């Protein structure tokens, strides 16, 4: 498994950022229902532990919401590791839009 990580600063405070993320995750699950085979996540305070399977490939990790930064880190199959930079950049861009 290959590791990935991205972090995005914000000025919303943890409760507002977490609320936006929860809404976004719900929308993403619906929007990409034809691509996402399964998506499970459990919030423990400000940390989401998640597991996503898409196209038979599992990605898992944690998303931590702090007052001024969101951090995502996890593991992905080696088959996706060639696209790791692009995936991290896409995650960062989507988070920046969401938290603007």
Average pLDDT, the chain: 92
pLDDT value at 79 more than 90: no
pLDDT value at 69 more than 90: yes
The secondary element (H helix, E strand) that includes residue 46 is none
Q: Which domains does the chain have, with CATH numbers?
A: 2-99 (3.30.530)
pLDDT band at 77 (very low <50, low <70, confident <90, very high): very high
The C-alpha torsion from 87 through 91 and 97 to 100, rounded to 10°, is -140
Mean pLDDT confidence for 54-64: 93
């Amino acid at each position: 498994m290959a590791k990935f990580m991205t972090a995005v600063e914000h000025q919303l405070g943890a409760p507002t950022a977490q609320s936006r993320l929860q809404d976004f995750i719900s929308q993403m699950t619906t929007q990409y229902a034809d691509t996402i085979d399964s998506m499970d996540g459990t919030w423990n305070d400000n940390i989401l532990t998640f597991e996503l399977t898409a196209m038979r490939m599992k990605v898992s990790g944690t998303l931590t919401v702090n007052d001024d930064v969101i951090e995502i880190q996890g593991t992905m199959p080696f088959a996706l590791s060639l696209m790791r930079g692009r995936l991290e950049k896409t995650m960062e861009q989507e988070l920046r839009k969401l938290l603007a």
